[in-house]
Structure 1
Amino acid sequence: MTTKAYAALLRGVNVSGHKKVPMAELRALLTELGHGDVGTYLQSGNAVFTSAVDDERELAARLEQAVEERFGFGVDVLVRDHAYLRAVADTCPFPAASLEGRQLHVTYFSEPVTSSHLASLDATRYLPEEFRLGDRALYLYLPDGIGRSKLAEALAKIPPADGVVATSRNWNTVVKLVELTRARPA
């Protein structure tokens, strides 16, 4: 049986004491769902695993349902395979190697988002902060980090495109998820 390595990105868990999902319980849940080589990274809802299922949407839907049944609240989940995570890291339009991890972020989208969706934002107003749209991803260069970012604040106020789920990770996490999914037997 052929398996693939994946990362599951849970949106908005363990933030300020809300939607608590202990990582040990998330690992157990993924194992109960039949996945192998399960691991987690940090407390912010990053899990890695292998699966014979070759459908990211199906994997995400199953995990969303299992989280709701186990913890009693809904959580949006994005699942991405190693090849996609690697491509996102490799095609970063900013000089990632010369930046601190807190200065660069990726917002992953469940569906493609077009530049017209972000057209209402006057990007020049936020310089030196910048963003670039990628394949189901938005790259953010935030020299002072996300906590003080006016650009990130403005982007958060733009309503999501219909049915699109978004979740962000800093560059350190982006790189670590590539590494962790590569290390999983496939």
Structure 2
Amino acid sequence: MHYLVRMTSTRYAALMRGVNVGTTKRIAMADLRAAFEAEGFGNVRTLLQSGNVVFDSHEPVDADRIESLIERATGSRPRVVLLDAARLREILDENPLAELADDPSRLLITFADEVPDGAAIRRPSDDELLPEVVVFGRHAVYQWLPLGVSQSRLPAGFAKALGATATGRNLRTVQKLLALLEEP
């Protein structure tokens, strides 16, 4: 008698920092898909051109393994924030700016391995940032940018102060990633 053993898997989203922004770190999404599939990951999909890969794995995965995989496949080693559906859902549910943000393309969520205390980051005061709003959450930094990302009043070094792996996505992209993570 043969028994069919069903292996469970976890679906992950790998968010790469600085991929396909400007002319640096150009990576073709088709190359990424092929590399993830060759590594044995299943259900591999990319979202947009900004370095978002969703995939299934039957074993636990860490960011270092994904960074090494990308480096072998493309010659570039972007830093990666790795999230599963539960963590991404938690970050979205904790969004303190959800009611304020009336345009999901102007609400930026910055993911980091560890979010520092907002008081420890040098930045303009809340009044100086207006109409922009920045809130430090437990697992992400939420930024309402009613004038758009290019008009942000935060200094360019702000993201670097969040750590080497910090990478941002607008709410619209995050919602699409969550939908891919939660597909049956």
What is the TM-score normalised by the length of structure 2?
0.88
Distance (Å, rounded) in 2 between the aligned partners of 1:27 and 1:14: 15
Q: Deviations over 1:132-179 (max 9, x none)?
A: 11122100011111111113xx2x324425x64200001100111111
* Alignment coverage as a number of residue pairs: 177
Which residue, out of 47, 50, 70, partners 1:41? 47
Gaps in structure 2 of 5+ consecutive residues = 1-6
Structure 1, unaligned runs of 5 or more: none
1:51 aligns with 2:57: yes
Q: Which has the larger radius of gyration?
A: 2
Q: Whole-Å Cα distance in 2 between the matches of residues 16 and 29 of structure 1?
A: 23
**Cα deviation code 1:93-132 (max 9, x no counterpart):** 1135861122201000022322232255422211111011
CA pair 98-64 structure 1, distance change in 2 beyond 3 A: closer
Change (3 A) 1:121 1:150: closer
CA RMSD of aligned residues (A): 1.9
Q: What is the CA distance between 1:2 and its match in structure 2? A: 2.1
Whether 2:166 is the aligned partner of 1:166: answer yes
* Distance verdict in 2 for CA 1:127–1:24, change over 3 Å: same
Instruction: Point out the structure with the larger helix share.
Output: 1
- Sequence identity, in percent? 38
1:177 aligned partner: 177
Cα distance change, pair 97–114 in 1 and its aligned pair in 2 (3 A): closer
TM-score by length of 1: 0.87
Corresponding residue number in structure 2 for 1:133:
136
Q: Distance in 1 between matches of 2:123 and 2:179?
A: 36
Task: Considering Cα pairs closer than 8 Å and 6+ residues apart, tell me whether 1 or 2 has the greater RCO.
Answer: 1
Query: Structure 2 counterpart of 1:33, which letter?
Result: E
